[in-house]
């Protein structure tokens, strides 16, 4: 299923024994263009509740009607999970502690977005954990994890050539693998009618976090040829094929 992160951000997280919080943000890998964590506020549900990180590795089901994401964790597991410092970035060291606590295999020790696997939930098994520990022996533990806030990215200027062509409005999530196949660019200050256009991660050359800018590989005239976003049709097969073909053929100038 494809969905805008702005839509999912209001969903409630449901543990195996009851609701535990509301998504406040997402952390994504700006190299793999993959959502690594949901940042969840638990203070209404858990005593002394605080914000916690929940990985899509724990995913059971997404209920769009009830606006809930069901995870294979109990309230106690979430309550007892390693605490995080909201003022600091999430380090690889913290990830290792969290994954060891949950018994997950490591996504960062394999060749794909989820290590040796195509989907995050595959990391919940003993074989994945054993493979992760084996791979970790040969892995550079000092490597950065490149986790960034979606809230931070939304609103960044999009630069094509030397021209500002819009700003980042949202990211599209593929809930099968939690990768980001597309970005939504709001062009209302640039194009007549204020279209919201779709770009693929391959069209992003660089994200300058200090200057709050996203630099495209495309010139401004090619941005106009990008497909327009229609949220109601995101999961329509005909629309998805049309968008895929359009993104593959950009640029057209």
pLDDT of res. 142: 46
Domain carrying residue 209: 154-249
Domain tally for the chain? 2
Q: Are 143 and 158 found together in one domain?
A: no
Q: Are 102 and 209 found together in one domain?
A: no
pLDDT of res. 132: 57
Domain boundary among 99, 124, 147: 147
pLDDT of res. 131: 63
The answer to whether the CB of 203 falls within 8 A of the CB of 252 is no
Burial pattern 150-173, b for ≥16 Cβ within 10 A else e, equals beebbebbbbbeeeebbbbbbbbb
Task: Give the separation between CA 230 and CA 185, rounded to whole angstroms.
Answer: 12
Q: Are 25 and 101 found together in one domain?
A: yes
Q: Are 141 and 169 found together in one domain?
A: no
Q: What is the token pair recorded at 248? A: 């593959």
Q: What is the Cα 250 distance to its own chain's centre? A: 24
Q: Are 105 and 27 found together in one domain?
A: yes
Domain of 233: which CATH number?
Answer: 3.90.50.10
Q: Are 113 and 230 found together in one domain?
A: no
Domain boundary among 128, 147, 166: 147
The answer to whether the CB of 111 falls within 8 A of the CB of 32 is no
Domain boundary among 119, 147, 175: 147
pLDDT of res. 48: 75
Q: Are 118 and 20 found together in one domain?
A: yes
Q: Are 217 and 102 found together in one domain?
A: no
Q: What is the token pair recorded at 99? A: 């994954």
Domain of 122: which CATH number?
Answer: 2.30.30.240
Q: What is the token pair recorded at 155? A: 């609103």
pTM score, two decimals?
Answer: 0.91
Q: Are 136 and 228 found together in one domain?
A: no
Sequential pLDDT tens for the chain (253 residues): 999 999 999 899 999 999 999 999 999 999 999 999 999 999 889 887 788 999 999 999 999 999 999 999 999 999 999 988 877 889 999 999 999 999 999 999 888 899 888 999 999 875 656 665 565 555 555 467 889 999 999 999 999 988 999 999 999 999 999 999 999 999 998 888 889 999 999 999 999 999 999 999 999 999 988 999 999 999 999 999 999 999 998 875 5
Q: Are 28 and 56 found together in one domain?
A: yes
């Amino acid at each position: 299923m494809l969905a805008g992160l702005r839509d999912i951000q209001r969903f409630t997280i449901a543990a195996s024994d009851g609701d535990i919080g509301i998504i406040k943000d997402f952390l994504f890998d700006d190299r793999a263009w993959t959502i690594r964590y949901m940042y969840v506020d638990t203070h209404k549900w858990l005593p002394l509740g605080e914000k916690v990180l929940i990985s899509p590795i724990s995913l059971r089901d997404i209920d769009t009607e009830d606006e809930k994401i069901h995870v294979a964790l109990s309230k106690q597991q979430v309550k007892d999970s390693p605490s995080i410092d909201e003022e600091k970035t999430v380090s690889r060291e913290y990830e290792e502690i969290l994954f060891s606590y949950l018994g997950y295999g490591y996504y960062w020790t394999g060749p794909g977005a989820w290590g040796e696997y195509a989907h995050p939930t595959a990391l919940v098994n003993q074989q994945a954990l054993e493979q992760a520990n084996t791979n970790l022996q040969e892995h550079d533990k000092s490597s950065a994890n490149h986790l960034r806030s979606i809230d931070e990215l939304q609103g960044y200027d999009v630069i094509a050539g030397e021209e500002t062509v819009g700003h980042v409005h949202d990211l599209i999530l593929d809930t099968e693998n939690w990768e980001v196949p597309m970005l939504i660019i709001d062009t209302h200050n640039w194009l007549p009618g204020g279209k919201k256009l779709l770009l693929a991660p391959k069209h992003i050359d660089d994200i300058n976090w200090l200057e709050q800018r996203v630099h495209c590989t495309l010139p401004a005239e090619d941005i106009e040829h990008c497909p327009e976003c229609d949220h109601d049709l995101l999961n329509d097969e005909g629309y998805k094929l049309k968008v895929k073909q359009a993104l593959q053929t950009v640029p057209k100038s």
